[in-house]
Amino acid sequence: MVVVFISKYYKFLLIIIIIALFSGCDKKEILSVHIIDVGQGDSILIKTPSDKKILIDGGNEDSEHIIKSYLRKEKVKSLDIIIATHPDSDHIGSLDYVVDKFDVKSIYMPDQNPNSSSYKNLIKACKNKNLDINYLFKGDTLNVDEYINLLVLSPSYIQQDNNLNSIVFNLNYKNKSFLFTGDCEETNEIDIINSFNLNDVDFLKVAHHGSSSSSTAEFINKTSPDVAVISCGYKNQYGHPHQSTLDTLEENNVLTYRTDINGDMVFYSDGSTITTKHKYK
């Protein structure tokens, strides 16, 4: 009787171990990239496998409730990093509200001091929360967690044109590469591809809402992204995205998605693949 009991016990124990092993295999470490539809502007939430939260840009002054609602939906109470790619109002317009309403651990910007209300409001919000502003330049790196580093590709130096000062960075997660470009222009792109090896980008946030002033054929061909997203407003006054940019992406077989067509979008990566739960147009 004792022998039978022990045998059953070990069989039961073996079953528990097998279940635990299979359960562990199913729980993959997932990176998610959330493209928040703020109309004619940019706002992107990145959630890392270790549950770090990064917010890139904050839309315009009217985007605060859109962003707040989205972050609340995603159960985001604090942000580890905010990156304000450049001080145009359609990128930093609601970041003062985000800083005011959420626990923000660090914020990064280009080293530029424009005389705009959006910029002044953001600086004031940071001062009210005793939040120091950090500056990023080409070659800087941010260590987010064990698997994720951000490499800053631009700007090299500060210029008068806000777009040329855009913080461009490459995020690598295991075998997948994500490129975020702000509103960088052709001159930035030339400097980037001449300075860094970006021959195998998997995911591209298309620069400047799909404007023809960036996303040149040389840049897209060199970086060879598989998936691209464009953040732009429905029937916006600038005609973004420009047809020449869409043609360049199509000619390079880049699967392209747009907020003016699809609204909010979420992409997931386990480091080997990039997927989404929805069938976007």
Q: Which listed CATH number (3.40.50.300, 3.30.2290.10, 3.60.15.10, 3.40.720.10) goes with 29-275?
A: 3.60.15.10
* Rounded CA separation 172/203 (Å): 10
Q: Do residues 266 and 33 make contact, with C-beta atoms less than 8 angstroms apart?
A: yes
* Rounded CA separation 141/124 (Å): 27
Query: Confidence band (pLDDT; 50, 70, 90) for 87?
Result: very high
Residue ranges of the domains in the chain?
29-275
pTM summary value: 0.90
Sequential DSSP letters for 50-88: T--EEEE----TT-HHHHHHHHHHTT--EESEEE--S--
* Rounded CA separation 230/61 (Å): 20
User: Tokens 């039978």 belong to which residue?
Assistant: 4
Query: Confidence band (pLDDT; 50, 70, 90) for 21?
Result: very low
**Is the peptide bond preceding residue 155 cis, with omega within 30 degrees of 0?**
yes
Digit-coded pLDDT (tens) for 226-267: 999 999 999 999 999 999 999 999 999 999 999 999 999 999
Looking at every residue in the chain, the average pLDDT score rounds to 91
pLDDT surpassing 70 at residue 128: yes
